[in-house]
Structure formats: C-alpha cells, structure tokens
Amino acid sequence: VAFVKTLLLESFDVISEINPTGGFLNIRVKKTEICANILKEAVNKLGDFGNNDFGLDKNVVIDYSSPNIAKSFSIGHLRSTMIGNSLKLIYRKCGYNVFGINYLGDWGTQFGKMIIAYKKWGNLAEIKADPINKLTELYVRFHDEAKEDPSLEDEAREAFRKLETGDQEYYELWQWIREESLKESQQIYDLLHVSFDSYNGEAYYNDKMDPVVDELMEKGLLIDDQGAKIVRIGDDVPPALIKRRDGGSLYITRDLSAIFDRKNTYNFDKILYVVGNEQKLHFEQLRRVITAMGYDYSDSINHINFGLVLQNGRKMSTRGGGVVKLYDVLDNAMKLAYKQITEKNPNIENPEEIARKVGCGAVVFNDLKNHRTLDYDFDMEKMLKFEGQTGPYL
Ligand code: ARG
C-alpha cells in the first residue's frame, strides 16, 4: 500500500492526499487546480475542447424527435428531441460520422382521421389562415364525434386504406396536411437549435415494404395467423405482427424496411432509437426479427429509452384534458424568463434574445438533468429559478 501510495502521489500532480481505509484507497484531489486546468484548456481550445477521435471512421445513426404530425407537437416529444440532439453532439465530438434522422410519424390511421375530419367539417380558407390550430381542432373534433358515432372510425380506416393504395385526391390532402404540420415542428426546432440530416418518416417507407415481407416469406419466417401475418420470435415475447388481416402494414413493418434502408445508406456501426420506455417491446421485437432473418448486427441496435414528463404524478395535459403543446411550454418559459430578466435588469440589451436563451435553456437543462430512464415532474417555476440546479443559474 505504501508503495502504491507513493507511486500515485508522484505520478499525479493533482492528487493531494491518499488514505487507505478498509479495502479502499481514498484519494483526494486538488479541486481548484483541476478546475483551473479544465477551464484553461476550454478557453484555449474553444470549440475544439473535448474533441477526441475514438469514433473515427465509424457511422452512427440516431433516430430522434420523430413526432406524430397529424397532431400538435406535444411536450411528450421534448425528451426524444433533446436527448437525441445531445447524443448527436457528443458522438460528433468523439469523431463519429453522425446522421440524425427525424422519423416522422406521418403515416397511419391518424391521417385517415384527419382526411375524414377535413372533408366533413373543414373550411379551407379558415385552415389556410391558421393551419396548425385549425387542423388540431379538426383532429380533436374527430375524436369527440367518434365517441358518439363509432362508424367514423371505419370511415377513417377506409380513408387511410385509400391513401395507402395511392388515391390521388387523398394523397394531395395528406401532403398538404403534412407540410402544414411540419411548420409547427420547424418553429420548435428553430427555438431549440435542433436539426436533422433526414426527415424520411413512416410514409417514406409505404412503398418499400414488399421486399421485407418477401424476404421474411422466403426465409420461412412468416406465419399465417387467422389471415394476419406474424413472425414468432421466442416464447417470452409476443410474435411480431407484420401484416394485418386487411393487408395493411404496421409500425414494425415500416421500421424493418427503414432499418435495412439505413444500413444500406449509412452503413451504420450503431443505430440509436431515442424513444420512450413504453416502446421497449417494439424494439426488442425489431431486434429479434432481424436476428431471425440471419443478420448479425442486432447488437448495434440500441433503444435509448426514457421516462415520461408528468405533472402532479400524471401524464401532462391541459385544463381541458388535451395535450400540452411544446410550443406553448417554450413560449411560456420565454415569457417568464423575460419578466424575471427585465425586473432584475431593466436596462438589459436584447431582452428577447436573452429570454429565449434563458427560457428555452431552462426547459432543456431541466430535461437533461433528470435521470434519463425515470419519469419526472414538470415544474416550470422551479426550473426557471435563478438558484439551485437550474439552467438560468448555470
Ligand atoms: N413516432 C413515434 C412515436 O411518437 C416514434 C418513432 C420512433 N422511431 C422509430 N423508428 N420507431 O411514438
């Protein structure tokens, strides 16, 4: 012990003290010196600080944010957006080639619902004047009316089936709804300084799933289950449903098609899916189907799971029970920050810009400081405080 102690003390300037206790060596370091060194290096290297090259020549695909765009961008997608963006920055710093993909939820029966709602109650001029809110209203109205009249659900399914099989009118409607919804997402990404290399979402894979289904068939993996097509992947996990009885594709069918496309395009060494805890089973199934197909890269597939954003222990919702829009949350944070900043410092220059940085920064910092896989409670006042572990304090 005495020998190790001397060796360590001689080798590392920053160690001030070593005390053996029990089976452990307690090592004390010179905090001030370490901090000073780090800061000096950071100031010298600026943007290059922390760079390293252990990811050189390696490719990483990160699938993050990926909102479902028939509805408003809700607080529920904040975590994927910010955790994914952080991972992207960290991997870049480590020398990896990083490809950020926003796998938009731009396909599925929800678009059938939007189309039916638009055809029944939509007013083009009104929507054009205020697209995001009017489209959201239509979506909410669909759900309210469908509670009274369940046949609407059938109409929506039928509308989506028509869309899937290439109906021109519906396709154009879909395209327009998609574009308008994307504008809302873009506002949010601009505020948060988040960007992507690709926006190929679920719709992009609509006409690219047949080869996957064929391959599953050829490999003898596709089993008929009362008209639906499934793949069995072990006794401890439910089978993966690949095709519905009506021939419609599913979430996992599109994800299979997407992962093969990404492997081809980016030749990834790692692929990260930044998606909530509730999709654990989905990614386990994805991994197992790929292994069953004879591919050896299932270990490079990582589900970066995370917990929910709660309010008073429950999933966040508005007073009326609707989803909380992320844009409103950020807007609120900026307003609160503005108030605090201008009260503390009435002569401050550029208060709007600073309020954006402090307000959005508070929400982001709070999101990232919480343990990734646990749920956390959303408390706007607390995260905007200028003391404690908060963005504004930092
Ligand atoms: N749009 C999905 C959702 O909000 C997330 C998509 C995650 N990515 C994926 N490749 N499945 O639930």
Q: For ligand 1, atom 11, which residue shows the shortest CA distance? A: 255
Beta bridge partners of residue 307, listed in sequence order: none
Cα–Cα distance measured from residue 162 to residue 152, given in angstroms and rounded to the nearest whole number: 15
- Nearest ligand 1 atom to alpha carbon 279: 12
Q: Which tokens in the block code for residue 196? A: 């992507």
Separation of 351 CA from ligand 1 center, angstroms?
37
Tell me the CA distances in angstroms from 125 to 69, 121, 128, 202, 235, one per residue in order.
21, 12, 5, 29, 54
Cα 193-366-345 angle, rounded to 5 deg = 80
Query: pLDDT value at position 61?
Result: 98
DSSP per-residue codes, 28-49 = EE-HHHHHHHHHHHHHHHGGGT
Chain mean position to CA 295: 26
Separation of 216 CA from ligand 1 center, angstroms?
23
- Nearest ligand 1 atom to alpha carbon 68: 1
User: Do 365 and 391 touch, CB atoms closer than 8 A?
Assistant: yes
User: Do 340 and 391 touch, CB atoms closer than 8 A?
Assistant: no
Mutate which of 65, 66, 71 for ligand 1 pocket (most atoms within 8 A of beta carbon): 66
Q: For ligand 1, atom 6, which residue shows the shortest CA distance? A: 66
Separation of 65 CA from ligand 1 center, angstroms?
8
Contacts of 8 (CB under 8 A, 6+ apart): 15, 18, 25, 27
Please report, in tens digits, the pLDDT of each residue of the chain (394 residues total): 889 999 999 999 999 999 988 889 899 999 999 999 999 999 999 999 999 999 999 999 999 999 998 888 999 999 999 999 999 999 999 999 999 999 999 998 889 999 999 999 998 888 888 888 888 889 889 999 999 999 999 999 999 989 988 899 999 999 998 998 898 899 999 999 999 999 999 999 999 999 999 999 999 999 999 999 999 999 999 999 999 998 888 999 999 999 999 999 999 999 999 999 999 999 999 999 999 999 999 999 999 999 999 988 888 877 777 789 999 999 999 999 999 999 999 999 999 999 999 999 999 999 999 999 999 999 999 999 999 999 999 9
Query: pLDDT value at position 133?
Result: 84
Contacts of 59 (CB under 8 A, 6+ apart): 96, 97, 98, 99, 266, 267, 268, 269, 270
Q: What is the DSSP letter of 298?
A: G
Of 163, 164, 116, which Cα lies nearest the Cα of 142?
116
Beta bridge partners of residue 215, listed in sequence order: none
Q: Which residues of 59-82 are buried (b: 16+ CB within 10 A; e: fewer)?
A: bbbbbbbbbbbbbbbbbbbbbbbb
- Nearest ligand 1 atom to alpha carbon 283: 11
- Nearest ligand 1 atom to alpha carbon 77: 4
Q: For ligand 1, atom 1, which residue shows the shortest CA distance? A: 105
Q: What are the pocket residues of ligand 1 if the criterion is a CB atom closer than 6 Å to any ligand atom? A: 63, 66, 68, 103, 105, 255, 273, 275
Cα–Cα distance measured from residue 301 to residue 278, given in angstroms and rounded to the nearest whole number: 17
Q: Half-sphere exposure (CA, 13 Å, Cβ side) for 384?
A: 23
Of 177, 212, 145, which Cα lies nearest the Cα of 68?
177
Of 375, 354, 363, 325, which Cα lies nearest the Cα of 82?
363
Residue type (1 letter), 108: G
Cβ of 353: how many Cβ atoms within 10 Å?
Answer: 9
User: Do 43 and 154 touch, CB atoms closer than 8 A?
Assistant: no
Separation of 64 CA from ligand 1 center, angstroms?
8
Cα–Cα distance measured from residue 314 to residue 179, given in angstroms and rounded to the nearest whole number: 32
Separation of 66 CA from ligand 1 center, angstroms?
5
Separation of 69 CA from ligand 1 center, angstroms?
11
- Nearest ligand 1 atom to alpha carbon 258: 10
Tell me phi and psi for residue 62, to 5 degrees. Answer: -120, 120
